[in-house]
Amino acid sequence: MNTKEKIYNYILKERQVSANKIVDNFGLSRWAIYKHLNKLLEENRISKIGVPPKVFYLIKEKKLSYTADNLFSFDKKKIKIIEDSYLIITPSGERKEGMEGFIYWCNKNNLDVSKTIGDYVKTLEKYNRYKKEGIINGKNKFQSTFKEVFLNNVYYLDFYSIERFGKTKLGQLLLYGKQSGNKKIIKEIIEIIKPKIKKIIRTHKIDAVGFIPWTVKREIQIMRELEKWLKLNKARIKIEKIKTEITVPQKTLSKIGDRIENAEKTIILTENVKHKNILLIDDAIGSGATMNEVARQIKDKKIAKKIIGVAITGSFKGFDVISEV
């Protein structure tokens, strides 16, 4: 048995092991060990987790291959849709996209891949009917939630999740980019949404932008990153979240009345400059209470006549709680 296979069997035995431990076990140079590890990675027989200097190697999960040999009967158009739209982050933090991710999800849920492909595409088509040029009109949701809506228009750039199949690709990126403060994922989100936001700005002749403030303290705030990297070159309106003795994030409130009360008493518009058309940007809209409250204050102060809202993701139903983000 050659050294590469011995290393493979050692990883198989240990389940997950660091390069240092492999070097110590085999007594070879670090360069020689990494040469074999890289070859095993290229052959897709092992994978690695972690970031330097703490990197561990483990046997690659066996997965169904989706070459023409065993997917010859599948609709190529449907496979293309999944390749473009599907993403899942595994419980161990591994990113799986397209058919690889879809097959992983099917296997995990004991589902027949060939049947579930059709179900997924059909469900996706149902939700895509609400999109016009990639943008979803969320005004009806607000009208079904609030007695009075102060926004002229509300848009989502995607749904946060869809029935049965869970979070959309953008929903997955938002959840893990926000929770982990992963700047690489956040910048990926920005690249996806930037053209759509700029189109909304052009369509509605926006001259000022406001970013909905965060309520959960994090080392890296996605809203701050959006403001920094979207580079919209528009005037900023000042919106502040008042610090209270006990911080109560919107996402912890399950009743619409509580969310409205929270927004009314903790969000303040510290802006007096007049604008024509204002765009309010948020990361995710569950109830929409905060955005609607900011719009109310803008209208009350007569700062702008037209107020447009946009969120990276929004819920499909009327009042919904997106508690994860």
Say whether both 287 and 182 belong to one domain. yes
Say whether both 156 and 199 belong to one domain. yes
Q: Residues 280, 286, 290, 295: is their CA dihedral positive or negative?
A: positive
Whether 137 and 153 have beta carbons less than 8 Å apart is answered as yes
156, 162, 163, 165: CA torsion to nearest 10: -170
Nearest partner of 260 among 136, 140, 148, judged by Cα: 148
- Which DSSP string corresponds to 201-224? HHHTT--EEEEPPP-S--SS-HHH
Give pairs for 43-48: CB < 8 Å, separation 24+: 45/8, 46/8, 46/11, 47/94
pLDDT tens, position by position, 266-312: 999 988 899 999 999 999 998 899 999 999 999 999 999 999 999 99
Task: Count the Cβ atoms, other than its own, within 10 Å of residue 220.
Answer: 13
> Of 108, 128, 148, which one is at a domain's C-terminal end?
128
* Domains: count for the chain: 3
**Of all residues in the chain, what percent are helix, strand and coil, respectively (each to 5)?**
45, 20, 35
Amino acid present at 11: I
Task: Count the Cβ atoms, other than its own, within 10 Å of residue 53.
Answer: 8
Whether 127 and 159 have beta carbons less than 8 Å apart is answered as yes
| pLDDT winner (highest mean) among 57-61, 116-120, 252-256, 317-321 | 116-120
Which range of residues forms the domain containing residue 291?
A: 132-314
Say whether both 123 and 138 belong to one domain. no
Q: Which pLDDT belongs to residue 237?
A: 95
Q: Which pLDDT belongs to residue 68?
A: 43
Say whether both 144 and 291 belong to one domain. yes
pLDDT tens, position by position, 230-253: 999 999 999 998 988 888 888 788
Query: How far apart, in whole angstroms, are the C-alpha atoms of residue 115 and residue 103?
Result: 12
Nearest partner of 141 among 125, 154, 150, judged by Cα: 154
Residue 323, domain member (yes or no):
no
Whether 194 and 230 have beta carbons less than 8 Å apart is answered as yes
pLDDT tens, position by position, 205-223: 999 999 999 888 889 999 9
Q: Which pLDDT belongs to residue 256?
A: 83
Tokens standing for residue 167: 């979070």
Say whether both 109 and 144 belong to one domain. no
Whether 103 and 120 have beta carbons less than 8 Å apart is answered as no
Say whether both 181 and 297 belong to one domain. yes
Say whether both 109 and 164 belong to one domain. no
Give pairs for 111-116: CB < 8 Å, separation 24+: 113/64, 114/73, 114/74
Say whether both 21 and 169 belong to one domain. no
Tokens standing for residue 197: 């936001």
β-pair type (239-241, 235-236): unpaired
What SS3 string covers 54-115?
EEEEEECCCCCCCCHHHHCCCCHHHHHHHHHHCEEECCCCCEEEHHHHHHHHHHHCCCCHHH
Mean pLDDT of the chain: 89
Tokens standing for residue 223: 């809203």
- 27 pLDDT tier (thresholds 50, 70, 90): confident
Nearest partner of 33 among 57, 52, 60, judged by Cα: 57
Say whether both 299 and 155 belong to one domain. yes
pLDDT tens, position by position, 81-135: 999 999 999 988 889 999 989 998 998 888 888 889 999 999 999 999 999 999 9
Say whether both 75 and 218 belong to one domain. no
Query: How much is the pTM?
Result: 0.80
| pLDDT winner (highest mean) among 34-38, 62-66, 202-206, 316-320 | 202-206
Instruction: Pick the range with the lowest mean pLDDT from 20-34, 79-93, 160-174.
Output: 20-34
Say whether both 158 and 191 belong to one domain. yes
DSSP class of residue 248 equals -
> Of 39, 59, 79, which one is at a domain's C-terminal end?
59
> Of 109, 128, 147, which one is at a domain's C-terminal end?
128
Query: How far apart, in whole angstroms, are the C-alpha atoms of residue 20 and residue 37?
Result: 12
